[in-house]
């Protein structure tokens, strides 16, 4: 057994024993986290929101904002703390290391990466490291997007390259100490990148595709009018052998397939994605011969009205898929209990625009943020910037609390990660990380 695997199992055993001895209640997780993170369930204490700075609003800098999410703790539904990183970097996505002690977040513009200690004081994360040489270290990769935990390492999918600002890009690994490990360029014919997600039990990894820096840093109105630029979006997903990091298949998925969500129940060997430009829901299904097929499943809203689906969240029981559409500010909820025959069961307006959606592992709460990209966000009444929390009973969404990030002079809220006090004090039960050939060794 690899050393990293042994360490993970021992940590799991120790913390599970603490719970068995009556150490306390559990804390929540999101359903989209890496399988190499210890899985925790229940009520989250905090929502960490990586937030784009706005010139003239507060200090104008990108920042990590901590919001109280537990009604049993002080600061519920309010901003508990915020840490500015200095300057505006096009704050976008981020993720925990495999021990959940650090939260890595990145900027799509200058490729800066900021590492926060969230373990020492979960209510007040501390900036402990800044990586400013990502393009130089990686051989010209820019636009770090998804931060995905592997044992002892951080896997980062990127969007572009320093040579021409186009869509050719790569996957990058760093170790948990912030040291560069390797770059794996996307294969010929599928050069674009976006998200990366691993099914450890199958030893398979999926990547999706978006567009390069020259496009995503342009104002959306100008981009939409540029016919040549609109041709420069990804139309593929790649199936990888996770252990060897070798591409096995390139799947045709037209229209910029973005976020990827693997099914979570044992024996459910499929994943979902949403194609932004065509407003279609897609599934990627395991075939009998071990290969995968991409299947166009259903429309997401009215494509003629450009709903622009941007994020998805799959419930832990694989029954409901939440899809947020930026263009009309709505969430579309699909019953995907029959994954090849999804049924839309709810459409609800959340705001003038909508981006990220995150459901708690216990399926009781759903969170939304508003900002997509600084140059793509709407102006005027539809450009409100918010974090909004809802209760979910399996049929309806009911408002829980909301924070106006403009009124709080914080900026534009983007990615969310859940935080816990009990986890860092050893008072939660953890599931054992999955056994697989693709364990990052």
pLDDT in single tens digits along all 441 residues of the chain = 444 343 333 333 323 322 232 233 334 568 888 999 877 677 899 999 999 999 999 999 999 999 999 999 999 999 999 999 999 999 999 999 999 999 999 999 999 999 999 999 999 999 999 999 999 999 999 999 999 999 999 999 999 999 999 999 999 999 999 999 999 999 999 999 999 999 999 999 999 999 999 999 999 999 999 999 999 999 999 999 999 999 999 999 999 999 999 999 999 999 999 999 999 999 999 999 999 999 999 999 999 999 999 999 999 999 999 999 999 999 999 999 999 999 999 999 999 999 999 999 889 999 999 999 999 999 999 999 999 999 999 999 999 999 999 999 999 999 999 998 887 776 554 444 444 434 433
Residue 172's alpha-carbon distances to 154, 211, 216, 413, in angstroms, are 8, 17, 20, 25
Q: CB neighbours of 99 closer than 8 A, spacing ≥ 6? A: 11, 176
Task: Give the model's pLDDT for residue 260.
Answer: 98
H or E element: which one contains 201? none
Give backbone dihedrals phi and psi of 386, rounded to 5 degrees, phi first. Answer: -150, 160
Closest Cα to residue 66, out of 84, 86, 46, 52?
Answer: 46
Q: Do the strands 91-96 and 79-84 form a parallel or antiparallel pair, or are they unpaired?
A: unpaired
Task: Answer yes or no: pTM beyond 0.85.
Answer: yes
Return d(Cα 406, Cα 58) in angstroms, integer.
9
Q: What is the pLDDT of residue 40?
A: 67
320-325: strand order across its sheet:
309-314, 320-325, 330-335, 343-349
pLDDT at 125: 98
Task: Output DSSP code: residue 362.
Answer: T
What confidence score (pLDDT) does residue 32 get?
85
Spatial separation of the C-alpha atoms in residues 96 and 105, rounded to whole Å? 9
**Contact by Cβ (8 Å): 110, 74:** no
Question: How far is Cα 274 from Cα 307, in angstroms, rounded to an integer?
Answer: 12
Tokens of 87: 């300057």
Contact at 8 Å (CB) between 40 and 26? yes
- Rg (Cα) of the chain, in Å, rounded? 20
- Whether residue 121 contacts residue 139, with contact meaning beta carbons closer than 8 Å, is answered with no
Structure token pair of residue 420: 């816990």
């Amino acid at each position: 057994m690899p050393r990293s695997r042994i360490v993970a199992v021992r940590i799991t055993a120790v913390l599970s024993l603490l719970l068995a001895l009556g150490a306390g209640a559990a804390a929540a997780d999101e359903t989209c986290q890496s399988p190499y993170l210890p899985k925790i369930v229940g009520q989250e204490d905090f929502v960490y929101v990586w937030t784009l700075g706005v010139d003239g609003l507060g200090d104008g800098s990108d920042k990590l904002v901590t919001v109280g999410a537990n009604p049993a703790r002080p600061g519920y539904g309010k901003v508990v703390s915020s840490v500015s990183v200095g300057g505006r970097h096009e704050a976008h996505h981020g993720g925990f290391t495999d021990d959940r002690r650090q939260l890595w977040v990145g900027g799509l513009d200058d490729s800066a990466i900021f590492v926060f200690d969230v373990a020492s004081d979960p209510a007040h994360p501390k900036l402990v490291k800044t990586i400013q040489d990502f393009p130089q270290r990686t051989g010209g990769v820019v636009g770090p997007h998804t931060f995905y935990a592997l044992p002892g390492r951080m896997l980062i999918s990127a969007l572009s390259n320093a040579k021409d600002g186009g869509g050719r890009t790569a996957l990058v690994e760093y170790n948990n100490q912030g040291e560069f490990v390797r770059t794996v360029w996307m294969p010929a014919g599928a050069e674009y990148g976006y998200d990366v997600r691993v099914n450890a039990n199958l030893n398979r990894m999926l990547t999706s595709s978006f567009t390069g820096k020259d496009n995503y840093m342009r104002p959306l109105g100008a981009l939409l009018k540029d016919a040549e630029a609109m041709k420069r979006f990804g139309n593929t997903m790649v199936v990888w052998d996770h252990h060897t990091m070798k591409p096995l298949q390139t799947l045709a998925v037209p229209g910029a397939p973005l976020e990827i969500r693997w099914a979570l129940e044992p024996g459910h060997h499929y994943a979902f994605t949403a194609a932004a430009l065509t407003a279609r829901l897609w599934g990627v299904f395991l075939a009998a011969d071990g290969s995968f097929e991409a299947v166009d499943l259903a429309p997401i809203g009215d494509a003629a009205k450009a709903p622009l689906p941007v994020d998805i969240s799959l419930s832990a029981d694989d029954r409901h898929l939440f899809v947020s559409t930026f263009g009309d500010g709505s969430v579309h909820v699909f019953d995907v209990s029959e994954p090849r025959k999804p049924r839309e069961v709810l459409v609800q307006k959340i705001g003038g625009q909508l981006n990220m959606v995150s459901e708690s592992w216990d399926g009781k709460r759903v969170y939304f943020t508003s900002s997509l990209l600084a140059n793509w966000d709407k102006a005027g009444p539809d450009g409100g910037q918010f974090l909004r929390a809802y209760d979910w009973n399996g049929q309806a969404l009911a408002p829980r609390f909301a924070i106006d990030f403009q009124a709080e002079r914080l900026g534009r809220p983007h990615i969310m990660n859940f935080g816990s006090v009990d986890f860092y004090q050893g008072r939660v039960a953890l599931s054992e990380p999955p056994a697989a050939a693709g364990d990052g060794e």
